[in-house]
A and B are shown apart, each in its own frame.
Chain A
Amino acid sequence: MSMLKTALENGEFAVTAELAPPKGTDFSRALQIAETFGDRVHAINVTDFQSSTLKASSLAMCKALIDLGLEPVLQITGRDRNRIAIQGEMLSAGFFGVKNLLALTGDHPTVGDNPGAKPVYDLDSVGILQAAKVLASGVDMSGNKLEGSPSFFLGASVTPEYDPIELQLIKMEKKIKAGARFFQTQAVYDIKTMEKFKEMTKHLNTKILVGIIPLKSAGMAKFMNKNIPGINVPDHLIDRLKNSNDPVKEGIKIAGELIVELREKNLCDGVHIMAIGAEENIPLILDEAGL
């Protein structure tokens, strides 16, 4: 049984954290960091060649986490695998005991570190969810029978700051129809964004974990505003970072405060922390948030 699923179904405030496999064969640092999360997170998302960057595969890291007694969320994008490889990955994940799966479109190869790679996109995020759902029923996408079938708690992503938001909501509903039971959002910094988003999604029967990316500096905040789609760091937060003599610490504090406010106002079912390279700070954010 997925711990993440149980927590969300029991109405607990769920916490997930994101971790990337190493670029290379040395998993020791990544696994050490994962162990510092301990039972303070319900599950650890393992990224699938995040930002189209070559790394060890998500499944290998998921298996390593399971061996340590931790619960992974296998992320699968449509970028690198066709439907044969995606379904095969799911069968293997089932064998290893992976319980959670997050379906993503995937960034385009041209933004990554092997930009000449052929983009696949045989299945989009909706198609990946459909594949997982059909495998759980005991057959593959072509209706061929399986010897044992995997069953995943399925998730997907959504961008609350997307413009036009109606288009995100239409796709979100499709993802729910295709089997998604929880959503992890793009990073949010403005409580008002989630107030609006909560209102717009109240008719949907799903769980929403708000994305939290701790800021490390005013420069990082400005860079993200300019370059990362769907991210909007308000000016007053940028000022706080600018005026702080320890901006990393200030960023951790900001993240903690936001989590507390989201929780107090009941604007989500949990949070998903993406520390992008500063995962060792995740326990500090949880301290700040009182989690």
Chain B
Amino acid sequence: MIISQNKPFEEILGFLKNSEKIVLTGCGECASACNSGGEAELIAIKAKLEDAGKQVLAFIVPETSCNYLLVRRDLKKIKESIDEADAIVSFACGDGVQTVAKQVKIPVYPGNNTLFIGEVERVGIFSEACRACGDCVLGLTGGICPVTRCAKSLLNGPCGGAKEGKCEVNPENDCAWILIYEKLKELDQVYKLTEIREPKDFSKIAYPRTLNLRNSGGGAIK
């Protein structure tokens, strides 16, 4: 899931300095799950904007704000409001904001900061687990991602900096490499740590990346 968080309200108001009539959009998937762009949040933000003297003409929560066709369908439903509006504020992830922005002729501002791809540990608790590195190494690391969970993305084992199992960069976090080692010990796979891992090939993941299942004949293993 993509984890996002509302921007400070003052920053959003800053975007809207010269805009009176506003439309809000959210997202029914990730942003709803992390309370940054679901219906309840948009209702509260609408009230705050109105207190600040803005007019909120409409709001929508597309099922998924990163799906071009779904967003187009929902924007059509509020076409009149959009025609009248000065600006849209989108409370989706950065992807969802752009999906909205490319379909309208008025400014679209981000209401959220997009933080990371994460796991829902418990309700309201999210942690980063994958940085979409394009060449997954989890098979070698006991299912624990060193690219993401080691603060230095080290591939050949730990730096010297862990203290009592905690990472030197942020002692709130466990050292990923100690977790990996413990896990591989459990799995009887410590031998996987002894081989040198070559540096990553970043040419394979130069962004922006695209994937076209139509050209590649589908995404699944054939």
Point out residues on A near B: beta carbons under 8 Å: 78-79, 83, 105-108, 110-111, 119, 121-127, 130, 141, 157-159, 162-164, 166-168, 170-171, 173-174, 177-178, 186, 229-230
Contact = CB atoms under 8 A, between A and B. Distances in A.
A53 B202 CA distance: 27
A108 B151 contact: yes
B168 A111 contact: yes
B193 to A, nearest CB: 5
B67 to A, nearest CB: 32
Indicate the member of B153, B155, B156, B162 with the most A CB atoms within 10 Å.
Answer: B156
Interface in B161-196: 161-165, 168-169, 177-178, 181, 190, 193-194, 196
A229 B158 contact: no
B154 A124 contact: yes
Interface string B136-161: 00000000000000011111111111
B199 interface: yes
Contact of B168 (A108, A126, A157, A173): A108
B130 to A, nearest CB: 17
Contact of B194 (A121, A122, A130, A173): A173
A243 B177 CA distance: 41
Nearest to B154: A124
Contacts of B152: 78-79, 105-106, 108, 119, 121, 124
Given A171-B156, A174-B157, 14 more contacts: A107-B161, A108-B152, A108-B169, A124-B156, A125-B156, A158-B160, A162-B160, A162-B162, A163-B165, A174-B156, A174-B196, A229-B160, A230-B160, A230-B163
B168 A164 contact: no
A277 B168 CA distance: 22
B169 A110 contact: yes
B83 to A, nearest CB: 42
Query: Top 3 nearest A-B pairs by Cβ distance?
Result: A171-B157, A105-B159, A159-B160
Contacts of B190: 166, 170
Interface in B43-92: none
B129 to A, nearest CB: 19
Nearest to A79: B152
Contacts of A79: 152
Contacts of B156: 124-127, 171, 174
Nearest to A110: B169
23 contacts: A83-B199, A105-B152, A108-B152, A119-B152, A121-B154, A122-B199, A122-B200, A123-B199, A126-B157, A127-B156, A130-B199, A164-B178, A167-B157, A167-B158, A168-B160, A170-B157, A171-B158, A174-B156, A177-B196, A229-B161, A229-B162, A229-B168, A230-B163
Given A111-B169, A167-B177, A124 B155 contact: yes
Contacts of B177: 167
B190 to A, nearest CB: 8
Nearest to A178: B196
A167 B156 CA distance: 10
B163 A229 contact: yes
Given A122-B199, A166-B181, A167-B181, A107 B168 contact: yes
A51 to B, nearest CB: 11
A24 B55 CA distance: 55
B196 A130 contact: yes
Nearest to A228: B163
B177 to A, nearest CB: 7
Nearest to B165: A163
B178 A167 contact: yes
A167 B154 CA distance: 14
Nearest to B155: A124
Contacts of A125: 156, 159
Contacts of A230: 160, 163
A106 to B, nearest CB: 8
Q: Which has the most chain B C-beta neighbours within 10 Å: A79, A83, A105, A173?
A: A105
A122 B168 contact: no
A201 B194 CA distance: 15
A167 B100 CA distance: 48
